[in-house]
Amino acid sequence: MCGIWALFGSDECLSVQCLSAMKIAHRGPDAFRFENVNGFTNCCFGFHRLAVVDQLYGMQPIRVKKFPYLWLCYNGEIYNFKQLQKQFGFEYQTLVDGEVILHLYNRGGIEQTASMLDGVFAFILLDTANRKVFLGRDTYGVRPLFKVLTDDGFLGVCSEAKGLINLKHSTSLFPKVEPFLPGHYEVLDLKPSGKVASVELVKFHSYKDEPLHAACDTVETLPSGLDLETVKSNIRILFENAVRKRLMAHRRIGCLLSGGLDSSLVAAVLLKLMKEININYPLQTFAIGMENSPDLLAARKVAAHIGSEHHEVIFNSEEGIQAIEEVIFSLETYDITTVRASVGMYLVSKYIRKKTDSVVIFSGEGSDELTQGYIYFHKAPSPEEAAEESERLLKELYLFDVLRADRTTAAHGLELRVPFLDHRFTSYYLSLPAELRIPKNGIEKYLLRQSFEDSNLLPKEILWRPKEAFSDGIASMKKSWFSILQDYIDQQVDDLLLEKAAEKYPFNPPKTKESYYYRQIFEKHYPGRSSWLPHYWMPRWVKATDPSARTLKHYKSATQE
């Protein structure tokens, strides 16, 4: 996990512009480099490093003797770099996994490069010999990337939008900063002036298709039958493989553990595999909540069962409320459920950074979208519509849960790993018949739970624990985080302000005091940038005015029992 930043065709002095690069320093606390491009005095790269692999030669932009005309800045992890080396006979100069991008590009061009990468990534690749700039981002947008491109060809690229919004440019007072689309690469021509022109934006991978790199995966072809035992076995094999390949690290591995199904499965499989490859330190697991919250109690049970070194982070309502502004600044969004759920993740990440030496953090993101884990899936009119909704949620992950997971951990210099969003695992799961994937017997994620039923990885009550709204899971038994927020914000936002909300904020107008409060903070830091969020996250098939699961009839939280 790092912070990448680059400018092409800057009219302004680069030493002034590079102050913007410091806005993402949290993403790479170990080192910083600012480098001009030979022959292009108005082009440069900025890089903040979190050293996870190759402590010696891991600085960027990466340049190797074999390809002196290539410059690479990337943020991510390429899990199959050794398999690709073996398959194509690449000779690496460093131990950095991302070096494979240079070799793939030299061998087969940008299309093959992007398609063959098994991992999470955002990259800027410069080819000065052919005068091209390439941008690329992984299938689900697990690693963030933003860009600004003006009419006269000034290009700025950064891991977070905050590194671009204050750039100076002669022809544009308010350049449009936008997220780079996941699963795409872009080709741009580099002119002698250092300015660029976009040539094409190409979608290189759709999450439903088996990825091109599956051909050189460590798991060979799976049995193709659709009988339940074969399906369950394939799910277990692919999920275990997804966790195994993510063990690649020279820094200590930890795991977030809420005690829900997803993070518990990740933690249990992770610990099992760490033992198998003789990692000689205990797995640290981290749970956050208010005193005696359901998540804390469930996570304690899981940690005892799997034998992890467990840490509990307890926060009170005041600490949660105080963190909201920092959280919105980190997130760069005002989406209601994203902000709500980010407070706990932000505070637990802060604890991990300050009190432990775990840096590579596993988490359960992506499972709810993939395996239909949200409560409202019980209301789906048909299995086909449920499948379509699952795909829509996966497509928009980069705006919501994946954004939350990246920014809250990156704010504290941690690197997140999300095995549920493994390309092969997700493409297999989505290839299964729609009726196999829907909730059954009133229980969401039924197929996933069933697949691990006989594995003894988790206690039965955790494997079959129903979904908690995150804001309830971390809440105390006396009062939910949801209720605490509502009570506090009710005092902060006047009724009259809410009545006039649509006049003040015509795009995505706030409908509740809570959404108004978040929007106010967002506009303070990112005025006029509301289009970064195309729409609020809301459940479907129900008349919802609030995104929380607790507002749905099917939902019953442990704090309400």
Which residues are part of a known binding site? 97, 256, 288, 363-364
| H or E element that contains 198 | strand 196-203
Q: In the numeric block, which tokens belong to residue 4?
A: 């990448």
C-alpha to C-alpha distance for 145 and 269, rounded to whole angstroms? 30
DSSP β-ladder status, 358-362 and 252-256: parallel
Active site residues: 2
Strand ranges (E), 24-98: 31-37, 40-49, 62-64, 67-78
Q: CA triplet 208, 209, 211: central angle to 5 degrees?
A: 125
246/475 Cα distance (integer angstroms): 31
338 exposed, middle or buried (CB, 10 Å; 0-12, 13-18, 19+)?
Answer: buried
Rounded distance, CA 138 to CA 123, Å? 9
CA distance 386 to 395: 14
What is the spatial distance between Cα 77 and Cα 1, in angstroms, rounded to a whole number?
A: 8
Question: Residues marked as binding for L-glutamine?
Answer: 97
CA–CA separation, 374 and 497 (whole Å): 32
Backbone dihedral region for residue 38 (phi beyond 0: left; psi -120 to 50: alpha; all else: beta): beta
Taking the C-alpha atoms of residue 186 and residue 133, their distance in angstroms, rounded to an integer, is: 8
CA nearest neighbour of 79 among 559, 419, 487 = 419
**Contact yes or no for 94/69 (Cβ under 8 A):** no
Query: What phi and psi, each to the nearest 5 degrees, are found at residue 215?
Result: -65, -25
For residue 357, give the 3-state DSSP assignment. Answer: coil
Q: What angle do CA 87, 93, 99 make, to 5 degrees?
A: 65
> What are 164-173's contacts with CB under 8 Å, separation 24+?
164/20, 165/20, 165/526, 165/529, 166/19, 166/20, 166/23, 167/7, 167/10, 167/12, 167/17, 167/20, 168/11, 168/12, 168/16, 168/17, 169/10, 169/11, 169/12, 170/11, 170/12, 171/11
CB 19 within 8 A of CB 30: no
The DSSP symbol for 221 reads P
Give the chain's largest Cα–Cα span.
68
**CA atoms 347, 348, 349, 350: torsion sign:** positive
Buried b (16+ CB within 10 A) or exposed e, 144-172: bbbbbbbeebbbbbbbbbbbbbebebeee
**DSSP code string of 525-546:** HSTT-GGGSSS----SSS--SS
The C-alpha atoms of residue 281 and residue 195 are separated, in whole angstroms, by: 50
